[in-house]
Structure 1
């Protein structure tokens, strides 16, 4: 049956197994818009279209789709400004190694080079974010291999690729490439991957790990499918397990030797684990902060990763294994010797037990009016089975990373390497689209909510009645402050809060929810935090749950350097909210030094 280029594009993508696209229309993709309507099918089968309010959200959703659902995420946008808007979300996918294909429109081929309206050099624009593959179509017979290469490369390289289609090309009759010199003939199908390192490398890694006495394991997003294998290796080695932020769901937090997050948003037991170990096993992570890893020379290192360019990048590891985390750990396990000395692991367990007591005490400290830690602490035991939690950048990432105990089967993510503000709500939408039967909870600060979260709520109001389970909660910490940056300036720069840049308007988020047909819950009483969560989890529709929280509760790092302490003291004369800052900081520090007192 004859079809035009746009119709072929959606058909070919479905042949690759891509059945959901996030996007926004425009005259630069008019042909694709019309063809997409037909591609969805009258019975709801075919290519599902999720219409966003802003193209950046489409790219974030495609990135989150890849994270939560697996496979390749897909987004599209019109020419010029629409294409430009995609970039931030695409960089989120690129930096977190997520496979995403972006399709963008362009002005007619005859207008290119004429300084035409909305004409942007899109190949140059996307060349960095889609460095593995970006191409512009010029003739219909070229489009097949463009689609095939974009999807295959995105999946194989775990990267972003981009297809640029001029709007006149979109409407031309599609034709397969002729069998002549100067053409290529591609097919559908992902390549089989070599996921297992050679035996020699596995044995070398086992030798290092068997010789270790105090072993630390650091896992990341590459271990989200390797939970059983990580636990089995840790038990055989008597090791403790720390987690990079994107690997929070890789192993359950209720295991007594799981120390939690590592880094600025991490825990003290993870810091101690890294500083005291003699052997480090890094699996599926490109954790960026080398200063939180053992000092080079104090611990031997083994690393496993599916991407070779991530090996020996943050720590000078002695043995580097290129392979899938689950497959490699399973092959490594028989080569490992069972550790019989339990003293190292007993120390880890004791540190973890004490840490949870510290977090509970910190969460229960009084604040003006609500301590943000308590919001997360009260949520933790209420997390529904198999729920999905998203978090934004900012201070919410601290409490998400530290205070929530993930159990087996739960999922969670955020903008990791890019750490972009505004990802929590589009991530939540993508999670709900992929798993409409599961409870999804997005956690976001008021800065991110004002930036783009509120427009994503309109998207939620458009689609929620299609979901088999309506439970989606967007929890907003309303502290009227761009809080994480405020604290970074206090501690890292030694400067008091700069109110002109850091203070943001108060806004009735819960009332806004009611305005668009959702449920709004407002809480400014610390003793009613738990009840507010219960009400939200029992609602019959999506909820904005707004907590009025204290901006001056410090998101303390797991250890405080002398430089940080000096900067904090330097800040004091310039701090406009000094009394509250000092009072809350003293409470947090005393809980660390004297837990339970």
Structure 2
């Protein structure tokens, strides 16, 4: 036996897998692992979050911003339970994360010991691809290798549970023998290309169509050039999923922006009038905004063959890497002159851009949240990284922010969990400390998790090469998205006890932490606030007092029915005149011909 412990083996295995930091929160169930991290002398850093859920979000953010594997750790019992939300974020958005979780000593398992939870069933759904309780020291290297390989191969979270007593046990020197599996910490991606017959069928379908639309998701993150080339060849328009927004240049005249409930009028026109749909790396769930089934013939490209046909009836599936599949498809497509269809798409994109500008200019009390994001255009540094929380701010990001090419922007897309923006932003900053970060968050998400993690920002910012970490808080004293959902989906009036938030002085709190805080209550001050934030020598919280009654209106024609439902909810509210006037203004703008 060597003098090393099992925990030392874990840390060494992490280094071989290329892990340079672990996010988490300590506790007695993981103390052996903490000791090994300390002994590693910084080879694997430990990033302490304020809560295990936020640590898990950091691991997800690390995976999203770096393309690597995020690693998170927690103690047993409540710490393990807290990881679930972040791990489900990883599962639903398809990113690789490995969780190393402590457990009570093996000698007491099954005795209802303090903080004893049966962790394998707890994680069985979220880590359905791989969850394993380690029982003996000899298992550790093999289990870790399988967790990392599975996380990478399946783009999913995997969980390794290590009992407390086992972490401090002596590490054995493994030899190949019966009952022992010696593995290597290595993995290689499969070279995945669609079948030739499927490529031929997809090309025939698209060549025969007159009005082609592309729906582009996060699976096209390495295929931006191929997407544009096909759209140009076919005279097509491009819409994106929310997660696909960063991977298509929205300054192009035929790019219609995000689709769905929080999407644009241009994307609604594109998907509502196409006769062929090419879905690239998207699993967007807003199915009511797809073409009506039967109205468009569809081809879908996805690295995960299980997702083909998952959201829309697809005639031809191309299972493979998006860039390689599109390049092979492009050689089979016939170039066509840009005709009436492309002209109509570009006209709708132009109309949307006018509409977006008009909406941001609508007077609000005191500040229109759409203008907050619009003022960021032209000011966002070309090397920035963006994180977005869940809530009404997602709508303004989707509709108003034009990302410079190459600027990553991430959020909890499919799980849509509040509280992710600051943990995501921290992960981005730790991965790339020389690049500025912008985090957009509502006051509900900040009160839920963000304010606590500002403590982490304050603790770490002086270690960063570039100190710029700009948090923009939309403070409307309301859970605005849910309020509008109540009106829209249930035709219910606002429920104040549920929706109203206590006021929190975010800018003053930032100053209390030694950061810069800027309070904005006049829309004319927004540009200066962004400029000051990007010129600051420390992280900045911009607190903008925004109007909760700016409506979250879906694009027409689907939004027309939604607006009627919203009006019914407003009719049952006292003093809803301001919200009703804003809703009517937005609806009238939608109906305005030609923008």
Are 1:5 and 2:6 counterparts? yes
**Equivalent residue runs for 1:172-571 within 5 Å:** 172-559=169-556, 560-561=558-559, 563-571=561-569
- Mapped contact 1:357–1:595 kept (Cα < 8 A): no
Residues 552 and 471 of structure 1, relative CA distance in 2, 3 Å threshold: same
Structure 1 equivalent of residue 578 of structure 2: 580
Q: Matches of 2:212 and 2:173 in 1, distance apart? A: 57
**Equivalent residue runs for 1:140-159 within 5 Å:** 140-159=137-156
Q: Matches of 1:348 and 1:163 in 2, distance apart? A: 50
Are 1:27 and 2:28 counterparts? yes
Give the drift of 1:418.
0.2
Give the drift of 1:567.
2.1
SS of corresponding position for 2:101: strand
Of stretches 140-149 and 562-571 in structure 1, the one that deviates more from structure 2 is 562-571
Q: Matches of 1:109 and 1:65 in 2, distance apart? A: 32
TM-score normalised by the chain length of structure 1:
0.97
Deviations 1:376-410 (A, max 9, x none): 11112211102111111110000001100112111
SS of corresponding position for 2:584: helix
Residues 577 and 14 of structure 1, relative CA distance in 2, 3 Å threshold: farther
Residues 40 and 90 of structure 1, relative CA distance in 2, 3 Å threshold: farther
- Mapped contact 1:263–1:289 kept (Cα < 8 A): yes
- Mapped contact 2:300–2:317 kept (Cα < 8 A): yes
Give the drift of 1:582.
1.1
- Mapped contact 1:478–1:548 kept (Cα < 8 A): yes
Residues 32 and 575 of structure 1, relative CA distance in 2, 3 Å threshold: same
Q: Matches of 2:351 and 2:560 in 1, distance apart? A: 24
Structure 2 equivalent of residue 14 of structure 1: 15
1:99 aligns with one of 96, 109, 128? 96
Give the drift of 1:185.
1.8
Give the drift of 1:20.
1.5
Q: Matches of 1:577 and 1:49 in 2, distance apart? A: 52
Q: Matches of 2:180 and 2:102 in 1, distance apart? A: 24
Q: Matches of 1:174 and 1:580 in 2, distance apart? A: 68
- Mapped contact 2:518–2:529 kept (Cα < 8 A): yes
SS of corresponding position for 1:358: helix
Of stretches 70-79 and 190-199 in structure 1, the one that deviates more from structure 2 is 190-199
TM-score normalised by the chain length of structure 2:
0.98
Structure 1 equivalent of residue 38 of structure 2: 37
- Mapped contact 2:96–2:152 kept (Cα < 8 A): yes
| Unmatched segments (≥5 aa) in structure 1 | none
SS of corresponding position for 1:249: helix
Give the drift of 1:566.
3.8
Q: Matches of 2:350 and 2:23 in 1, distance apart? A: 43
Are 1:47 and 2:44 counterparts? yes
Deviations 1:459-480 (A, max 9, x none): 1111111111111111000000
- Mapped contact 1:254–1:407 kept (Cα < 8 A): no
Q: Matches of 2:403 and 2:253 in 1, distance apart? A: 13
Residues 219 and 596 of structure 1, relative CA distance in 2, 3 Å threshold: closer
Give the drift of 1:595.
7.4
- Mapped contact 1:389–1:442 kept (Cα < 8 A): yes
Give the drift of 1:151.
0.2
SS of corresponding position for 2:246: coil
Q: Matches of 2:262 and 2:97 in 1, distance apart? A: 28
Deviations 1:322-374 (A, max 9, x none): 11111111121111111114221111111111111111111011111000011
Give the drift of 1:448.
0.4
Deviations 1:2-61 (A, max 9, x none): 4101011011011011212111111000000111112243xxxx1122111100011111
Give the drift of 1:196.
1.3
Q: Matches of 1:245 and 1:577 in 2, distance apart? A: 34
- Mapped contact 1:60–1:423 kept (Cα < 8 A): yes
Q: Matches of 2:593 and 2:49 in 1, distance apart? A: 47
Deviations 1:410-430 (A, max 9, x none): 110110110001111111111
SS of corresponding position for 2:331: helix
Q: Matches of 2:393 and 2:527 in 1, distance apart? A: 18
Q: Matches of 2:219 and 2:590 in 1, distance apart? A: 32
Structure 2 equivalent of residue 67 of structure 1: 64
Question: Considering only aligned residues, what root-mean-square deviation do their CA atoms show, in Å?
Answer: 1.3
- Mapped contact 1:286–1:314 kept (Cα < 8 A): yes
Residues 68 and 577 of structure 1, relative CA distance in 2, 3 Å threshold: farther
Give the drift of 1:596.
9.2
